[in-house]
Each structure stands twice: as C-alpha cells, then as structure tokens.
Chains A and B, each alone.
Chain A
Amino acid sequence: NAGVTQTPKFQVLKTGQSMTLQCAQDMNHNSMYWYRQDPGMGLRLIYYSASEGTTDKGEVPNGYNVSRLNKREFSLRLESAAPSQTSVYFCASSPTRAGQPQHFGDGTRLSIL
C-alpha cells in the first residue's frame, strides 16, 4: 500500500551540480505533479503530466525539467542547482478527471549550498 514514493528523502548539493528526483505511484493514476514548498509560500506547481506522454509547465518551471518515464514514474531534474532551489519537493498523483484529489509523497528535502 505504498501510494506515492519519492527518492531520495534528503539531499545536499553544491551550486552547479545536477540531480534527478524520482517519483513513482502504484495507484494507476494518469496524472502526476511536482510541487515545491517554501516557508510562507504554500505549495507551488512546478510541472505536471496530465497523462503518459505529456508534460506541461506549472507556476514555477524555470530551472527544472521533467520526464514522464511511464505511467508510474515522473522524475524532476535540476540541471544546474542554485541556492534558490533549496526547498522541499513533493510529488503527487491523481486520476485525470477534474475535481479529483491528489495523493502526495512524503517529500524530498533538498539543500543547495
């Protein structure tokens, strides 16, 4: 009964390094999402994938890329990490139909020095 699994849970990077955050869901959901959470800012959508084979930009996509590897997996890549990308990153999934709740992973806590 895993739901949405994110790896790693914690990571420290140096400015300029690259990294891929992994996300997998086992609920057969079509849609997947990446958010970042910063103090006082709530959750902001980075990218989403409405269905396998499609990806779209959210509110704060700059500095990130995504890959929908298959129906289960949706990865987030930082090509050249910057201190402003220090945040907690959450992956979520949901059925495609509008109005359905999203199910969240436990997050990846990323620090960039």
Chain B
Amino acid sequence: GNSVTQMEGPVTLSEEAFLTINCTYTATGYPSLFWYVQYPGEGLQLLLKATKADDKGSNKGFEATYRKETTSFHLEKGSVQVSDSAVYFCALSDSRSGYSTLTFGKGTMLLVSP
C-alpha cells in the first residue's frame, strides 16, 4: 500500500535560517504529491503540490521537487520567519484510485524563534 514518511520533529530554527523537511513516499502508481500546513487551532491548508516527476511546487517562499528516482518530495525554504511556525504534512494522492484519497505523513512541527 501507499505510505509517506516524514522526518520527526520538532524542527527548531532561528529566524532567517534555511529549512529542509524530508519526505519520502512509497506508492505503486503515479502519485501526486502535496505539502499541507497546519497553524495552531486551524485546519490544514494546501501549501504546494506537484503532479509528475521533476515538477517543482512553490508557494510563499517554500519549494519542493518531485523526485521519482529517490521517491522524495523534500520541503525547503531559504529564510524562515517566526510566522512559519506550524505543523507541516507531506501527502500523496494515488492517481490509480480515480479519487483523491490522500495518504498523510505524521507531520513535522516547525518552531522558529526570533
């Protein structure tokens, strides 16, 4: 079956530091890949997505590249801000299913200090 593995957190950084959150996946089809962000007390918001190999998703300074050869979709940001503190979820959607059911990783908490 499908699965998503994320690095465990919390990840603690100072403002303006470089961020990487690792995500690897296992899927038998050709999944679409997503990063979602969850701020305290809120639901999940789509941060970025990529639908095929070598696609790069980007939004709000965050980037992730769909690497089929390493089955990875690592999230990066060049300079984090305190407002980026949140929980980040990597997820995949199996295109074979015909639906949009998502398989999530367990989430990585990011804490950014001033």
Show the binding face of A for B, using Cβ within 8 Å: 4, 31, 33, 40-45, 48, 50, 58, 90, 92, 94-107
Give B99 Cβ to nearest chain A Cβ, in Å: 5
B101 touches A99 (CB 8 A): no
A98 touches B98 (CB 8 A): yes
B89 touches A43 (CB 8 A): yes
Per the 8 Å Cβ criterion, residues 84-102 of B in contact with A are: 89, 93-102
A99 touches B42 (CB 8 A): no
Does B61 touch A at the CB level, under 8 Å? no
A90 touches B44 (CB 8 A): yes
A50, B51: Cα distance in complex, Å: 20
Give A38 Cβ to nearest chain B Cβ, in Å: 10
Q: Which of B14-22, B70-78, B104-112 touches A?
A: B104-112
- The 8 listed contacts between A and B (C-beta, < 8 Å) are A33-B101, A90-B43, A98-B32, A98-B95, A100-B93, A101-B49, A103-B46, A107-B42
A106 touches B93 (CB 8 A): no
A-B pairs under 8 A by CB, number: 67
Known interface pairs A33-B101, A44-B104; 12 further A-B residue pairs with C-beta atoms within 8 A, sorted by A's residue number: A31-B100, A42-B104, A42-B106, A42-B107, A43-B89, A98-B96, A98-B97, A99-B32, A100-B100, A103-B46, A104-B44, A104-B45
Does B25 touch A at the CB level, under 8 Å? no
Give B80 Cβ to nearest chain A Cβ, in Å: 22
Name B30's closest neighbour in chain A (CB-CB).
A99
Give B43 Cβ to nearest chain A Cβ, in Å: 4
* Cβ contacts under 8 Å, B51 to chain A: 99
* Cβ contacts under 8 Å, A107 to chain B: 42-43
Partner of B99, one of A50, A92, A103: A50
Per the 8 Å Cβ criterion, residues 22-81 of B in contact with A are: 31-32, 34, 36, 41-46, 49, 51
A61, B99: Cα distance in complex, Å: 18
* Cβ contacts under 8 Å, A42 to chain B: 89, 104-107
